[in-house]
Amino acid sequence: MKEILIATTNKGKVADFKTLLTPLGIIVKSLLDYKDIIDIEETGATFTENAILKAEAISKHFKTNVIADDSGLAIDALQGRPGVYSARYAGFEKNDQANMAKVLEELEGIPTNKRTARFHCVLALAIPNDETKTVEGTCDGIIATSPIGDQGFGYDPIFFLPELGKTMAQLSKEEKNQISHRANAFKQLKGLLESINPGKETSL
């Protein structure tokens, strides 16, 4: 059977990947399934560099197929911040509420038409003894003036989707996995998996 280790301890991300990969018959594991967790320092200047760093290090350590993602929020009015620092924007410890509060404070007084932003996701696929490959996806929106919704995680409650009239945190998992940055990257990943084994059933 097919198995992929998702290089994260974030339960929200694990749930997203299970929703996306399980229908393909892929067994999804994460770092939450292992006692021996290695901490990878994200020293890259871009989402792509960080995703590759994590995927290759964890694939080498566990000797298995690994998907690592690096994703975050880029806000135009903040010159692309928080960007690669999205998870720890308000400080070293990851805190979703503090991160959102900092963003909202920095955008205070900025009109709606200037609050454009996008979620960006890069997925790196590391397979032992093979070259690491990457795909990416984005999702455009507007930063709301206050958090709305209790689904999702991260910046989802302040990421408003004009075409749906909801924030990302107001969407069901099924809705989110149709339009999210990670879902769009996953669509590219499916094509990548098929290219690895042309003419055959997708398999790792």
For position 63, which CATH number holds?
A: 3.90.950.10
Q: Is 86 annotated as ligand-binding?
A: no
Predicted pLDDT at 204: 45
Has residue 164 been placed in a domain?
yes
CB 19, CB 173: distance < 8 Å: yes
The domain tally of the chain equals 1
Q: Is 34 annotated as ligand-binding?
A: no
Round to whole Å and give the CA distance between 42 and 53. Answer: 7
Q: What are phi and psi of 90, to 5 degrees?
A: -95, 0
Q: Could you list the active site residues?
A: 70
Predicted pLDDT at 202: 46
pLDDT digit string, tens, across residues 145-178? 999 999 988 999 999 999 999 999 999 988 988 8
For the chain, the average pLDDT equals 89
**Ranges of the chain whose pLDDT falls below 70:** 1, 196-204
Q: Is 60 annotated as ligand-binding?
A: no
Has residue 202 been placed in a domain?
no
Predicted pLDDT at 155: 96
- For every residue of 22-53, DSSP letters joined together read GGGTEEEEEGGG-S-PPPPP---SSHHHHHHH
Q: Domain range spanning residue 156?
A: 2-196
- Predicted structure pTM score: 0.84
Has residue 203 been placed in a domain?
no
